[in-house]
Structure formats: structure tokens, C-alpha cells
């Protein structure tokens, strides 16, 4: 085949025609020997309340601290106006589920309070918002409540007046009052003022925008629509560590998710503190709402239950009756008959007469690690706990599939270390791009006679850039290709976490980022979307030949630090013939970086991950003086040959770690560094960074003394190196060859399309020949996610910087051989009509 690009109205067309030239690499798609059925549940989503994913995110409520439970001393997120005195009270509460309310001593017209929302409230012109609250007067009160949508600058963006006629000491509900916005502001406020003096108490103050599918107490539309676009086959909830909770010295509550506290009218929900993620939860987005969202998305619900274990607490494993009953009741709430079961009737009362159809239940979250005799890692007697749940659930609900836990960290080979029966195992992987790339074939050799596998949580969390770059997403895509080719065994997978409010990044990266008014997907989101939306029904065998790239390295050296002040002196770089290639005694450029020989990379990015480096020269010593700097790199401008030896003296000063010697560097995203005293001054390791993705090649235990000068020597011989510390060999390694292209295929038996997925994680364009064995392609289309650099990311200002494009693929004549240019740093999906 040969190819030509044609630019048309809004798309690029690719025409393919026959040619005798061989392409590299060669992908053979064997349509004559179809494999197993693709799992119909393969791609789903995992929701956890983390990073304000729910409250202040997917849950559409705009008022923060609506029930005044976020702080026991003061009404945080609320500001008194017009001379009003606002304080918390615990007297005469609305019900026994509410612990605090807001007491207002009003001075007259304009007196009241204002709520800031979750870092602002997004108001849009000509949109209706719904206000509700409970209010009580100490003595009879007659007057008006003025509900105002305020701009950040104080502008009136919409207002309504609610007449009040309150009897003394009696709670009155203000319910579903519409307020139309007459203007727009992405960072607005809710202002509540009164026209008469008096003393009032308020509770459960709520303001909702329009919601996804118009659900009462529902979801934010843009965020739910981003989930909808994934077409998830299942939805796992509510966590995550959020399921387990965590004790604190001041609060001995478990702080776990208890579903029965999260259903019914919102004023009946007490909320709880999420110690794990550091903020109070309204539980407005509760068990019922999660089931409803799964249904609205067309996703099968997957509920995770607590097994009596959490962070810092445990229920004795022989006293689990209440926890088991809680799980059984949750199933009854989801599936029970609305007329004959207690919890099914309550579900109907809450607005959903028909069963939700819960068929997937996970027993515990990350509770089968290593310490089964203690609770050091939330694993105490997990299997004894598990089997009690399994038997009780299977006895009453045999149709429910039970998911069990295996090790979630500390091993790449988790296993079910029990004789107890289990339907599905939940594996979790948070690793580097190269780890996911290397594990493309991980499940090829798994035992097909054992339990099915669910990859419940996975994501690149090492070497992902700032908020998640393309190289990280491509590593995940390669891993997902491996899941697809093994989806007879790996029947489910879900990326984690989904959401982060940009004002509360407790965990990163996340695949959807948002603030009060905007949202966008990272490259990982786009990988999840186009992989899930382009999957067939049958696995097709694929082989790839001529598919390796020899390792290459750059030709610069330098220094770096990580959370530590460090110093360097007496640098010499010697060539293989003994000549001096680079020498610097760091004299003559006091108090500044010697700019003629060095170039600094890195600096302030987001205030959390990396901070501005402070390289100075003083008394013949190069110093990095910013203890908070992480990964800021100083590279020499000298281009070195393929072979050289670095000699330098270095020492760690203040901080938690040691120092870093950089070599084989092209730029700050393609290099090798020797990290001495890393990981809290516990290890020495070689780390290889390619296109922004980092891989640890070797690590050994080791520490560095503070203030002591060490003699460091690095012998570079092409892609091989030897690293010496005080004359002792610490590391000797060679960079491995790299696979240049990853491929898999499925057949969509309904549409008659062969779906070929190609990932090129390298910077080299791959002119790829695709042989369709036993089939001919007549037409098709290509979906391509690519960018100029693997380190490219999406941001709030450049939301589609890395995003997929689609264009038709046409043929001069039907053919069984296609030559296709696979772009650098790309995921390409070809949907070819075949016969």
C-alpha cells in the first residue's frame, strides 16, 4: 500500500493503495483464527470521594458546609454581612442527625450571610438555580429573606424574595425556590439577607444548578457527561480508602462509609469526616445516588463493602454480624422487591420502585496484603473475614458475583492465598509508564483455570509530568491493549482516580480535572475514552515483527537534587583517550550559575510538586540552596562523545535525601540519573527518563552522611554505564532495547469491522505494514491521539492540547495489506471494514 494525506473540511483523509515495498514494523492480524469473546464488561469506572470528587465536584450542590458540620467551633465558608452576628449552635436541632446549625442575630435590612461555595459558584446567565433551607425563629418573625446570586465582585446576578412568617421555636422548610441568573460569573457566591432584625437559626442551606438528567439531588452536568462519553460498562463505588475510614488521636470514630446514613432526605443525612482525604462529606451523593448514576450511565453497579477493617482500627473478625448484615441490606436495597422487602420498599420510597440490579460486590478494599496477624496494612485475618461474607451473600443472593482482594502493593505478582472460593480477584497497579509498557504481556501466561481478574485501580503515578502527560497515557494504553488481548481472563478494568478539583489535589494524577466552572480530560482520559469506545466482540491474534529500537542516550551531563540542599566541586569529564572534555572548578562566577557552561531546567510548576532551584557558586563549590527543589536539573552545555567518565565530589547538606548525578542527557525529559540517598536517604538507584516517563533500572539500599564529601565516578560507554562511590562499584547496567510498536486487534462482529490498535510510545515515526490474514479491507477510519512531545499535557487554559482526531481511510481497491504511518507518541485506532 502507499498513503497520501488529503486535507478537507475539518478532517484529514488518508488514501491507501497497493505497493510492493515492505514496511517496518510488520503487524500480522490473523482473521482466520479468531480468539475468545471480548469481555462485555471490560472497561468501567471507579468513583471515590477524593480530591473533592463528589462534594464540590460531581455532586452538584453549590453550598459548602450546608449543614454547618465542617467545623465544631465556627461556621467556616460562611461570612456575616450587614452587622449580623453568625455563630454555631447545638440547641433545638432540626433532628437527631444534625449536630450543628447556624444562629444569626440580624440587625435589619441587608443583614445576613454569604457562602463562598467550593472555591466559588459557577452562575450562568438565564439559568435557573434551586434554593432550599430550614429556618427557625427564637421569637415570632415576619420579614423577607432575599436570596441573591452574587458575583465575586459583589454584583447582583439574580435575586428572589422569600416571605417569612415564622412561629417561635418551630422549624420551617423553604423548599425548591427558583432563582434565575441574570448574569454570569465562574466564581460567584450565595448571599442571604433579611429586611428585619431578629434572631434566626438556619440549617441544611442548599443551592442546586440544573443536574444531569434532571435528577433531584443529582450530578453536575459537565462532569457526568464526561463519564457518559466513556460508555462505562460498570461503576465501582464508593472507594477506595474511603470505604475503610481512618482513626485519629482526637477522633476515635472509624470515619468509614456507612451507606444507611447516606440515603433519604438530605436533612436526614448526618455526613461524616473523611480523615483519609481531609474534608467533611455531606453524604449528599450517597448510596442511592451512586446506584442512580450507574443506571443513568448504562453501567452495572459494583459496590464495595467494609469487612471490619480500616486505617488504624479493626472490628474483631469473629464479631462481624453487623457488617455482614449491612452488606446484605445493601443488596436488598438495590435489588429487593418494593412491596415485600424492608429495604426494597425504602428504595421505592426514595424514588426508584424498580430494582437497580446489583450483581457485583467486592468484599473489602485492599485488605489482603501482608500482615494478617495485625492490622498494620488493613489486612488482619482478611480471609477469615472474607469467607463469612461470601457464604452469607451466596446463601441469600447466589446470583451476586463476589470480588476478593489480593495484594495491592509490594509485589507485581499478587495472588489469592486462600482455599476459599472466589469469583473475581481485584488487582491494583500504580506504577511508571515503562512498567505498564513492560507488562503488555503480563496476562498471557496467567492460569485460565483460576478466578477471573478485575484491574480495579491502575494509573501511571511515577513519571507522569505535572498533572498527567501523553507518555503516561500511552503507557496505560499499552497495558490496556494487554487487557484486551486477555479479556477472556481479565474481564474488567477501571482507571483511578477519576476526578480532582484543582483546588484540592490530594492525589495526582487524575483523569478529569475541574474547577467551579470548567472541566477537561487529561491524555489518560482520552485514552480511556477511545479505547473503550472502540472495542470489538472477538479477540483477534496479532503478531509484530521488526519491532525493536536500539537504546540511545544523550550527550550531556549535569546535577540535580530532590528535597535537599547539596554541593558539588572538582568536576572533570575525561574522554576514553584520557583527554579532558569538561572541567569546572566553580571559581570566578560567585553567587550565580556559570551561564557559559551550564543550563538550568525546572522550577516552579504548581506550588506542590517542584519548586524553583537555586544554583549558586561560592568558594569553588556549586550549591543547590533550595531544600524544597524537586527534580530541577543543571545540565552542561558541552556535548560529550558516546564514551566518557565523570569525576566529581558531592555532599548532601540539609534535607531528607542526597544528591543526583545526571548523564546521558539530551534534555530534562530524556536522561539517566544516579540518585544517591534517594527515597528518604534509604536507597541508591539508577533512573532512566525517556520522553518524560521515568523508569527505575536498579536500586540498592544505601545512605549518605550529611556534610561528608563523596568521590563519585560514572563511566559511560554508550548505553552501558558503571557507577562508583568512593571507589566502590555500586551499579553496572545497560539500557535495554525498546519495543517500537504495540498492537492488538478485535473484530466487531456486529459492524464487520476489524479494530486494530497501535501504540507508538517513541519519538520515531513508524511506517507500519498491517497484513490482514484471511481478510480484506475496503474502507475505514482512523482515530489518533498524538502530540509533538510525550511530555505534552492538557491544562485549564489548553484543554484540548492533547486530544484525538478522526479521519476516514480510503482504499483504491480492497486489500489484505495496509501500510500506515504511525505517528510518534501516539495511540492509533484503525476501524477497517473487512470481508
H-run or E-run covering 132: strand 128-137
Q: Is the dihedral of CA 339, 343, 344, 349 positive or negative?
A: positive
Burial string for 647-663 (b: 16+ CB within 10 Å, else e) reads bbebbbbebebbbbbbb
CB 144 within 8 A of CB 164: yes
CB 427 within 8 A of CB 474: no
The three-state (H, E, C) secondary structure of 508-527, written as one string: CCCCEEECCCCEEECHHHHH
Coil/strand/helix, residue 304:
strand
Q: How many CA atoms lie within 13 A of 648 on its CB side?
A: 30
Q: What is the DSSP letter of 534?
A: S
Q: Over the Cα atoms of the chain, what is R_g?
A: 30
CB 133 within 8 A of CB 174: yes
721 Cβ neighbours under 8 A, 6+ residues apart? 663, 664, 672, 686, 714, 715, 731, 732, 733, 734
Look-up of cell digits 550549591: 623
Spatial separation of the C-alpha atoms in residues 170 and 370, rounded to whole Å: 55
In the set 48, 366, 630, 753, the catalytic residue is: 366
CB 315 within 8 A of CB 377: no
CB 657 within 8 A of CB 581: no
CA dihedral 802, 803, 806, 809 (to 10 degrees): 30
Q: Is 366 a catalytic residue?
A: yes
Tell me the pairing of strands 512-514 and 499-501.
parallel
C-beta neighbour count of 689 within 10 angstroms? 27
CB 127 within 8 A of CB 181: yes
Look-up of cell digits 433532628: 95
Q: In 538-626, which ranges are E strands?
A: 538-540, 542-545, 548-549, 556-562, 564-574, 580-584, 598-601, 615-618, 621-624
**Widest Cα–Cα separation across the chain:** 97
Q: How far is CA 263 from CA 53, 295, 346, in A?
A: 19, 17, 9
CA dihedral 812, 813, 819, 822 (to 10 degrees): 60
CB 164 within 8 A of CB 142: yes
| DSSP per-residue letters across 602-632 | ---SSSSS-----EEEETTEEEE--TT-EEE
Spatial separation of the C-alpha atoms in residues 802 and 4, rounded to whole Å: 24
Q: How far is CA 463 from CA 460, 562, 660, in A?
A: 7, 14, 16
Spatial separation of the C-alpha atoms in residues 830 and 775, rounded to whole Å: 15
Distance of CA 428 to the CA centre of its chain: 13
Task: Give the phi and the psi of residue 10 in degrees, each rounded to 5.
Answer: 85, 5
Spatial separation of the C-alpha atoms in residues 150 and 191, rounded to whole Å: 6
C-beta neighbour count of 485 within 10 angstroms? 25
Spatial separation of the C-alpha atoms in residues 306 and 407, rounded to whole Å: 17
Spatial separation of the C-alpha atoms in residues 39 and 746, rounded to whole Å: 11
Query: Which residues are catalytically annotated?
Result: 366
Amino acid at each position: 500500500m502507499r498513503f497520501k494525506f488529503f486535507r478537507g473540511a475539518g478532517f484529514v483523509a488518508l488514501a491507501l493503495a497497493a505497493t510492493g515495498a515492505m514496511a517496518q514494523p510488520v503487524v500480522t492480524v490473523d482473521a482466520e483464527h479468531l480468539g475468545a469473546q471480548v469481555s462485555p464488561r471490560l472497561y468501567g469506572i471507579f468513583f471515590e470521594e477524593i480530591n473533592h470528587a463528589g462534594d464540590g465536584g460531581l455532586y452538584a450542590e453549590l453550598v459548602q458546609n450546608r449543614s454547618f458540620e465542617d467545623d465544631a467551633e465556627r461556621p467556616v465558608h460562611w461570612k456575616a454581612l450587614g452587622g449580623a452576628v453568625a455563630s454555631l449552635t447545638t440547641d433545638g436541632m432540626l433532628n437527631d442527625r444534625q449536630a450543628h446549625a447556624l444562629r444569626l442575630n440580624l440587625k435589619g435590612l441587608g443583614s445576613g450571610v454569604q457562602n463562598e461555595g467550593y472555591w466559588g459558584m459557577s452562575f450562568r446567565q438565564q439559568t435557573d438555580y434551586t434554593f432550599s433551607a430550614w429556618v427557625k425563629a427564637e421569637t415570632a418573625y415576619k420579614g423577607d429573606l432575599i436570596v441573591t446570586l452574587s458575583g465575586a465582585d459583589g454584583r447582583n446576578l439574580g435575586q428572589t424574595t422569600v416571605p417569612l412568617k415564622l412561629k417561635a421555636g418551630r422549624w420551617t422548610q423553604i423548599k425548591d425556590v427558583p432563582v434565575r441568573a441574570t448574569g454570569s460569573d465562574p466564581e460567584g457566591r450565595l448571599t442571604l439577607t433579611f429586611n428585619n432584625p431578629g434572631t434566626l437559626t438556619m440549617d441544611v442551606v442548599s443551592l442546586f444548578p440544573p443536574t444531569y438528567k434532571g435528577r433531584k439531588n443529582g450530578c453536575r452536568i459537565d462532569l457526568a457527561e464526561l463519564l457518559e462519553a466513556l460508555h462505562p460498562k460498570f461503576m465501582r463505588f464508593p472507594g477506595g480508602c474511603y470505604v475503610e475510614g481512618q482513626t485519629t488521636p482526637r477522633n476515635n470514630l472509624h470515619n468509614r462509609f456507612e451507606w444507611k446514613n447516606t440515603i433519604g432526605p438530605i436533612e436526614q443525612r448526618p455526613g461524616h469526616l473523611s480523615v483519609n482525604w481531609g474534608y467533611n462529606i455531606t453524604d449528599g451523593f450517597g448510596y442511592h445516588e451512586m446506584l442512580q448514576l450507574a443506571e443513568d450511565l448504562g453501567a452495572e453497579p459494583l459496590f464495595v463493602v467494609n469487612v471490619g477493617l480500616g486505617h488504624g482500627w479493626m472490628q474483631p473478625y469473629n464479631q462481624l454480624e453487623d457488617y455482614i448484615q449491612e452488606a446484605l441490606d445493601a443488596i436488598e436495597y438495590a435489588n429487593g422487591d418494593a412491596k415485600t422487602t424492608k429495604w426494597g420498599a425504602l428504595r421505592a420510597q426514595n424514588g426508584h420502585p424498580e430494582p437497580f440490579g446489583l450483581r457485583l460486590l467486592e468484599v473489602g478494599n485492599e485488605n489482603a496484603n501482608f500482615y494478617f496477624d495485625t492490622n498494620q496494612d488493613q489486612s488482619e485475618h482478611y480471609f477469615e473475614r472474607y469467607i463469612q461474607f461470601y457464604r452469607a451473600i451466596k446463601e441469600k443472593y447466589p446470583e451476586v458475583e463476589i470480588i476478593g482482594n489480593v495484594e495491592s502493593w509490594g509485589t507485581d505478582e499478587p495472588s489469592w492465598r486462600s482455599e476459599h472460593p472466589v469469583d473475581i480477584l481485584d488487582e491494583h497497579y500504580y506504577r511508571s509508564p515503562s512498567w505498564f509498557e513492560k507488562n503488555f504481556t503480563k496476562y498471557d501466561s496467567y492460569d485460565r483455570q483460576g478466578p477471573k481478574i478485575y484491574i480495579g485501580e491502575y494509573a501511571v503515578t511515577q513519571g507522569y509530568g505535572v498533572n498527567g502527560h501523553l507518555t503516561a497515557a500511552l503507557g496505560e494504553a499499552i497495558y490496556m491493549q494487554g487487557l484486551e488481548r486477555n479479556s477472556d481472563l481479565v474481564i474488567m478494568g477501571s482507571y483511578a482516580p477519576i476526578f480532582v478539583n484543582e483546588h484540592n489535589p490530594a492525589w495526582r494524577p487524575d483523569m478529569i480535572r475541574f474547577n467551579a466552572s470548567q472541566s477537561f480530560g487529561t491524555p489518560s482520559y482520552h485514552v480511556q475514552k477511545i479505547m473503550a469506545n472502540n472495542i470489538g466482540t472477538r479477540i483477534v491474534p496479532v503478531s509484530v515483527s521488526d519491532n525493536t529500537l536500539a537504546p540511545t542516550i544523550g550527550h550531556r551531563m549535569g546535577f540535580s537534587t530532590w528535597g535537599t540542599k547539596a554541593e558539588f566541586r572538582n568536576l572533570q569529564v575525561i574522554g576514553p583517550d584520557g583527554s579532558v572534555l569538561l572541567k569546572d572548578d566553580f571559581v570566578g562566577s560567585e553567587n550565580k550559575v556559570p551561564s557559559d557552561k551550564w543550563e538550568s531546567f525546572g522550577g516552579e510548576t504548581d506550588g506542590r510538586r517542584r519548586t524553583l532551584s537555586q544554583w549558586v557558586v561560592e568558594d569553588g563549590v556549586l550549591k543547590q540552596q533550595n531544600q524544597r527543589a524537586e527534580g530541577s536539573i543543571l545540565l552542561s552545555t558541552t556535548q560529550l562523545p558516546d564514551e566518557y567518565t565523570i569525576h566529581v565530589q558531592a555532599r548532601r547538606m540539609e534535607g531528607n535525601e542526597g544528591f543526583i548525578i545526571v548523564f546521558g542527557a539530551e534534555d530534562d525529559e530524556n536522561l539517566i540519573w544516579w540518585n544517591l540517598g534517594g527515597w528518604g536517604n534509604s536507597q541508591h538507584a539508577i533512573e532512566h527518563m525517556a520522553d518524560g516517563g521515568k523508569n527505575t533500572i536498579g536500586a540498592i539500599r544505601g545512605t549518605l552522611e550529611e556534610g561528608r564529601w563523596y568521590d563519585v565516578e560514572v563511566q559511560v560507554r554508550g548505553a552501558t554505564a558503571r557507577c562508583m562511590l568512593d571507589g566502590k562499584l555500586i551499579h553496572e547496567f545497560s539500557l535495554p532495547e525498546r519495543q517500537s510498536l504495540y498492537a492488538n486487534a478485535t473484530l466487531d462482529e456486529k459492524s464487520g469491522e476489524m479494530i486494530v490498535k497501535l501504540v507508538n510510545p517513541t519519538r520515531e515515526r513508524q511506517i507500519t505494514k498491517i497484513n490482514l490474514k484471511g481478510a480484506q479491507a475496503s474502507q475505514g477510519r482512523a482515530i489518533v491521539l498524538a502530540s509533538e512531545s510525550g511530555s505534552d499535557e492538557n491544562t485549564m487554559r489548553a484543554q484540548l492540547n492533547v486530544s484525538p482526531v478522526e479521519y476516514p481511510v480510503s482504499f483504491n481497491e480492497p486489500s489484505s495489506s495496509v501500510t500506515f504511518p504511525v505517528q510518534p507518541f501516539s495511540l492509533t485506532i484503525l476501524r477497517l471494514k473487512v470481508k
